[in-house]
Amino acid sequence: MKQKIVVMLFLSFFAVSAGAWAERFNNVPLVDANCAGKVKANPDAHTRACELQCQKAGLGIITADGNFLKFDAKGNAEAVQLLTKSTKADHLRVNVTGKVADGTLAVKSISMK
C-alpha cells in the first residue's frame, strides 16, 4: 500500500511539473505580426515606431530557427509597455519566458535586452 502511495505521489509531482514547464527565449528580436515575414532576414533593422504603429496586429518574437511566435494578450500588453518606455529606435531584443501552444507564446515574463 505504501509503495502505491509513493508511486502515485511521484507521478502526480511530474504531472504538475510538466504543466508548469516554460520555455526561455533569450536575446530574441521583438517584432509585430504585420512585419514578421518582411523583416525575418534582418529583424534588428525593424523600428520601434513601426512596432508601435502595428501593435494591434500583435507582437511576438522571431525564434533562433526563424519562426514567429505571437504573444498572448498579456504578453502583447507587456511588450507594448516595454516599447513605449524604450528609447531604442531599432535592434529591439527581449528575454521571454513562457509556454508555447498552437503557435502562441503565453508570456510569463518579458524584459528588454
Q: Looking at the predicted structure, is the pLDDT value of residue 97 above 60?
A: yes
Rounded Cα–Cα distance for residues 78 and 59 (Å): 10
First to last CA, the chain: 52
Q: What percent of the chain has pLDDT over 90?
A: 80
Judge contact between 60 and 36, C-beta under 8 A. Answer: yes
Q: Taking 80 as the threshold, does the pLDDT of residue 9 lie above it? A: no
Of the two residues 21 and 113, the one the predictor is more confident about is: 113
For the segment 55-77, the average pLDDT, to the nearest whole number, is 97
Verdict on whether the full-model pTM lies above 0.85: no
48 to each of 25, 56, 85, 88, 112, how far by Cα in Å? Answer: 20, 14, 11, 7, 12
What pLDDT, on the 0 to 100 scale, is given for residue 21?
79
- Are the C-beta atoms of residues 74 and 106 closer than 8 Å to each other? yes
